[in-house]
Homo-oligomer: A and B are copies of this chain.
Amino acid sequence: MAKIISIKEAMGMIQDGMSIMIAGFLAVGTPEKLVDALVEKNTKNHTLIAISTAYPNKGSGKLVVNKQIKKAIVSHIGTNPEAGRQYINDEMEIEFVPQGTLVERIRCGGFGMGGFLTPTGVGTEIEEGKQRISIDGKDYLLEKPLRADVSFIRAHKADKNGNLTYRKAARNSNVVMATAADITFVVADEIVEVGCLDQDEIMTPGIFVDYLVQG
């Protein structure tokens, strides 16, 4: 069951070299407060797992600009020129993953699966180093699970048990990332009492959430 902590307490659990999932799509769904606090903490050598490196001044991109990321596992960096610069200058390693494969690998990581077979990437560079398996005459790549040490999630509403709802397009990668890290930190737009959320409409059950981080 989720525990409510301060940003300071949250940052106390993060160390150099940890892998970090940052939820959001082009920063929509990203808990900026946690990212800002991590920029301030200035830990280094993180592995970033995110849909993209977002923007230089928004979302996960701020950690790139502050040179805290050693390796990024993302589907896109095009909106963050600094990510491109660090990449071509070998200052940051990038593993490009097709977006559908990325979120499904995270799902496998959260849910105890050893991987899944996708037709995406067959016959492309993405196939390198991967097993190709044919099922009923069609070829697939075996893609492996992804997990992280910590994840940063923004929710719309959270009850005090950590049950979460998201709003509009701010849901995106948050649902899977909330399940696949050893420690899940959530910043909610609003924290409500247990019982205030409709039991049918909770999008992330609280069992997945470790900490609700308060302002």
Footprint of B on A, CB under 8 Å? 104, 108, 112-119, 133, 135-136, 138, 140, 142, 144-145, 165-168, 171, 199-201
Given A133-B142, A200-B165; A119-B115 close (CB under 8 Å): no
Copies per complex?
2
CA distance A171 to B200 in the complex (A): 9
Q: Report yes or no: B140 in contact with A115, Cβ–Cβ below 8 A.
A: yes
Scoring A113, A136, A165 by chain B CB atoms within 10 A of each residue's CB, the highest score goes to: A113
* A201 surroundings in chain B (CB, below 8 A): 200-201
Given contacts A113-B140, A114-B117, A166-B200, 11 further A-B contacts (CB under 8 A): A104-B113, A115-B116, A115-B133, A115-B135, A115-B140, A116-B117, A136-B144, A168-B199, A168-B200, A171-B200, A201-B201
* A117 surroundings in chain B (CB, below 8 A): 108, 113-116, 142
CA distance A138 to B114 in the complex (A): 8
CA distance A140 to B142 in the complex (A): 13
Given A200-B165, A201-B201; A140-B116 close (CB under 8 Å): no
